[in-house]
Amino acid sequence: MADPPPPGNTESFSLAPTPPQDPRRGPGPVAIATLRRREREKMK
């Protein structure tokens, strides 16, 4: 591991490039991607 995850953010320690995200909000990159997909499907 190059650098340890920021304190308080323990759920994204396995992702090398961590997307900018507030660890206090809860949802991780996967949840964000799911939300984005839902938004796209809504537009159709």
pTM above 0.75, yes or no: no
User: Binning pLDDT at 50, 70 and 90, where does residue 2 land?
Assistant: low
Q: Who contacts 6 (Cβ-Cβ below 8 Å, separation ≥6)?
A: 23
Rounded Cα gap, residues 23 and 28, in angstroms: 8
Q: Which of 42, 1, 43 lies closest to 12, judged by CA?
A: 1
Between 40 and 2, residue with greater pLDDT: 40
Q: What would the pLDDT profile of 11-35 be if each residue is shown by its tens digit?
A: 545 555 555 655 666 667 777 788 8
Q: Is 2 left (phi over 0), alpha (psi -120 to 50) or beta?
A: alpha
pLDDT of residue 29: 72
